[in-house]
Amino acid sequence: MPKRKRGVTRDDARRQQAIMKRERRVAETHEERNGLFSTMAQRGQDRRAEEAEEQRNSRLSDMAQRGQERRAEETEEQRNSRLAVMAQRGQRRRAEETDENHHQIQTFYAARTIGGSSGGARGATAPSLAKVKGPCPLTFQSSKLTIPRKMDPKLKLC
């Protein structure tokens, strides 16, 4: 009969490690486990976000390349037409802004006139109703001032 070895054998060591590992797992709190899972999930999301960003950058690069190719192929006439459309849009946008600013200025002066303000710090007086000849574009409806959206620029404020 072989002699019995003293101390811990390899199999015993593995068994003890497995037992200690199980005990550690049992000792882990619920929060610690959730923290680990959360960290793992965050890493996965970051990895996917990086891939998505690379894909998005690739797609945008392709779109820019196609636009450059299209512009390179277009004739001078097509280019001029495209630029003319862009210029018209800009003019239209500026005209709308000018109309809105003009309307705001007229509303401001109309409110000063109706409010009876006799002028600002420099002694300027607001135009009065007596100075305007012809029909006044400002109308009153139940103590509200109504100003037409588009007023003739030659028309004096009242």
Neighbours of 138 (CB within 10 A): 19
Among 143, 130, 129, 138, CA closest to 107: 138
pLDDT of residue 124: 46
Q: Are 126 and 81 in contact (CB under 8 A)?
A: no
**Strand intervals (E) in 10-86:** none
pLDDT of residue 127: 46
Distance separating alpha carbons of residues 114 and 110, to the nearest angstrom: 6
pLDDT tens, N- to C-terminus, the chain (158 residues)? 566 666 666 788 889 899 988 887 777 777 788 888 899 999 888 888 887 888 889 988 999 999 899 888 888 888 899 899 999 999 999 999 988 888 888 888 888 877 654 444 444 444 444 444 555 555 544 445 555 555 555 555 54
Helix, strand, coil shares of the chain as percentages rounded to 5?
65, 5, 30
Enumerate residues 6+ apart whose C-beta is below 8 A from 74. Answer: 82
Domain boundaries, the chain: 10-113
Where does residue 143 fall: left (phi above 0), alpha (psi -120 to 50 degrees), or beta otherwise? left
